[in-house]
Each structure stands twice: as C-alpha cells, then as structure tokens.
Structure 1
Amino acid sequence: MKIAPLVLENRWVRLEPFAPALREDVRAALDVDEAAWSIMVSTAYGENFDPWWDGFVERMAAGRDTPYAVRRLSDGRIVGTSSLHDLFPQHRRVELGSTFYHPVARAGVVNPASKRLLLQHAFDSGIIRVEIITDGINARSQAAIAKLGAVREGVLRRHKITHTGRVRDTVMFSITDQDWPTVRTRLDERLAAFG
C-alpha cells in the first residue's frame, strides 16, 4: 500500500505535495518564530531549511512520507506544512505530523481544515491507524490534537532527542479507522462554524 501525493482541497485550504516550485514559499512560511522551533525534534528554521526540505523530498520519492505545503485559499498564501509520514504499509499505519504554521495562520480554520483533508486521504488510502505525537511539554499542541478527537494513549518516556539535544517525552495520540466516522463528524461540525 502507499499514500499517493495528491493535491487535497476544501473550502479553506489546498494541500500541495512538495515540489520544487513550492520550495521558497514554504521556506518563507517556516522561517519564523524561532522559539516555536526550539522544542521541535527537527527544525526548518534558517539554515536548517534546505536539509529539512531535501530529507522530506527524498522520503517522498521512497514512498515513506507525503509532505504538503498548506495554501490558505482566502489569500492564496502558503502558510505552513503538514504531512503523512513514517508509513508502515504492512501495518497500515502512518503518522500525521511535521505540522508547522506561520503565526498568521494559527488558531483559526487552517489546522482543522488541513487535518480533515489529511485524515480523509489516509483512511481512503487504506490506513487503519493514524498516529499523532507531540512533545510532552507542548501543552498547546496536545490540546489541539485532543480537540480533533484523537485518543490520548500515553507517554513514551525519553522517546526522542530534539535538534537542540534535549531528550523529550512524547505524548502519543491516535485515530483509528473505527474512530474516523465520529472524528469526521466532529471536524465537519467544527468547520461549519467557520462558514
């Protein structure tokens, strides 16, 4: 099984698989808010952008990752990224992550609209489990993931080392194919509030 790198679109966002023509727009969207990057496992901030981008493109070519530039349709601006990555075809499992939004796109419709598209694409592709993980110290991210309707499964202690060298605990959430109808309905209701 694989997850095809298709353009995904709804009323609010268009998710475009990474392509050379998007590189500089993605760089501009991500080269902000150094403090937010400080707790990430990897960083696309500043001089780190090129190896970060190149790594995603290589993994996309290998069929492991499907990274997307997130275009806000209200103004056509690339405002961030998100991806379906670390695909395990034999277990029909994928991680939804590597999400970062420019500050102008946070706390609005962009994240739930993007997650709605990515989750639908994953489950339509035959995935039975989508994992969403975040840093144990990132309370804002944990709240956003829970608001999606994902199930908090626990904490993986000393799970990853961030690009700054800090050993982090990881909070694990998931949405399964059995959860998806309920999660989808909640997301649709939430998006309807944006008109």
Structure 2
Amino acid sequence: MQIATTVLEDRFVRLEPFTDALRDEVRVALDCDPAAWEIMVTAAHGEHFDGWWASALAAMRAGTRIAYAVRRLSDGVIVGTTSIYEINPAYRRCEIGSTFYRPEARGGPINPACKCLLLGHAFGSGAIRVEIITDAINPQSQAAILKLGAKAEGVLRRHKITWKGRARDTAVFSILDDEWPTARDRLDHRLAGF
C-alpha cells in the first residue's frame, strides 16, 4: 500500500495537501468555534495553531499522515481540514479523520464529498481497512460516520487524552475493502441530492 500525497477533487471540494502556501488560509478556516475544539484531542485554533501545523507537517514528512486543506469549490474558500493518518503500509490500513469544518460548511455536501474522496484514495492505493474514530461523547459525529456506511466496532476506553486533559473514550468504526463499493454507492447517492 502506497498512498500518494496528491490533490483530490470532485464537484464540491478540492483537497489540497498541506504546503506552506496554504498555512494562512488554513489558520483562518480553523480559528473559529472555540466550543467545537473543547472535546478534540488536539486544538488548532488561536494560539494552538502553530504547534498543530508543525506537528501535521512533521507527520507528513514521516509518511504517517497526509493532511489536507478543504477548499469549497463553489467560492474557492478553505473551509476546514481533514487527513489520512496512522498510515500503516505493512498492515494496509489507515485512519481518516482529524477533521474540522467551519460551522457554515457543516451539514451539507462537504463532509460526504471529502470522505468519498479520501476513502476512494485509500482503497485505490491498496488499503484493506480504513478506520474512522471519534469521541464517544460525540453522537453527531458518530451518526455522520454511520451515514458513510461504516460499521461500528466498539469503544476503546480511556483511549486518548484530549488537549484539555480529559481521558477520552473512543468510538471505533471501519470500512473494509470489500465493503467500499457499497459504501461508495451510498455516498454517491447522497451527493447526487446536492
């Protein structure tokens, strides 16, 4: 499995791998909605942005993450970020997440479009398993993951520590390579409604 760092695009979004040229646009996109950051493992708004950005670029150099700026094509604005991360070629698995969208970009085609592109890229690159995880106290995120066609696998207790210091239980979901065609059809059907 070799997941290339490349631009991904459909009719709704263009996912642009992080470069220094995108830094200021990504900062603006993430510097909002402080309440949404409260339950995150890491924070990327305000004073937290520089450390978060440096960490994302370091993981990209190490080959364990591809961090993307999410550009909404209807107006060309960067509205958030998402990633393929925990890339493990030996096990042909990765995770999709580290996702944040500006409030006005939530609830429409942006998230399903991004997930369809990311999943397609991962499975097209030889992944046999893609995980999507979220905080167990976040029912909205869990519902969105299920709508993608992912299967719930359970909860990892005290799995991560949030940036605020809370021991987080993590809800784990996955899509396998042989499940991807059905999930892709489901996503394509959803996106056709926009």
* TM-score scaled by length of structure 1: 0.98
Q: Distance in 2 between matches of 1:42 and 1:180?
A: 29
Q: Distance in 2 between matches of 1:183 and 1:78?
A: 26
Query: How many residues get paired?
Result: 194
User: What percent of counterpart residues are identical?
Assistant: 65
The corresponding residue for 2:73 is 73
The corresponding residue for 2:172 is 172
Give 1:131 shift. 0.3
Give 1:62 shift. 1.2
Stretches (4+) displaced over 3 A: none
Q: Distance in 1 between matches of 2:60 and 2:81?
A: 14
- SS for the counterpart of 1:54 is helix
* TM-score scaled by length of structure 2: 0.99
The corresponding residue for 1:37 is 37
User: Where in structure 2 are there 5+ consecutive unaligned residues?
Assistant: none
Give 1:61 shift. 1.1
- SS for the counterpart of 1:67 is strand
State the AA in 2 paired with 1:74.
S
**Kept in 2: contact 1:15–1:70 (CA 8 A):** yes
Q: Distance in 2 between matches of 1:9 and 1:79?
A: 15
Q: Distance in 1 between matches of 2:36 and 2:99?
A: 12
The corresponding residue for 1:131 is 131
Q: Distance in 2 between matches of 1:116 and 1:193?
A: 15
The corresponding residue for 1:120 is 120
**Kept in 2: contact 1:2–1:63 (CA 8 A):** no
- What's the RMSD between the two structures over aligned residues? 0.6
Give 1:2 shift. 2.7
The corresponding residue for 2:26 is 26
The corresponding residue for 1:185 is 185
- SS for the counterpart of 1:91 is coil
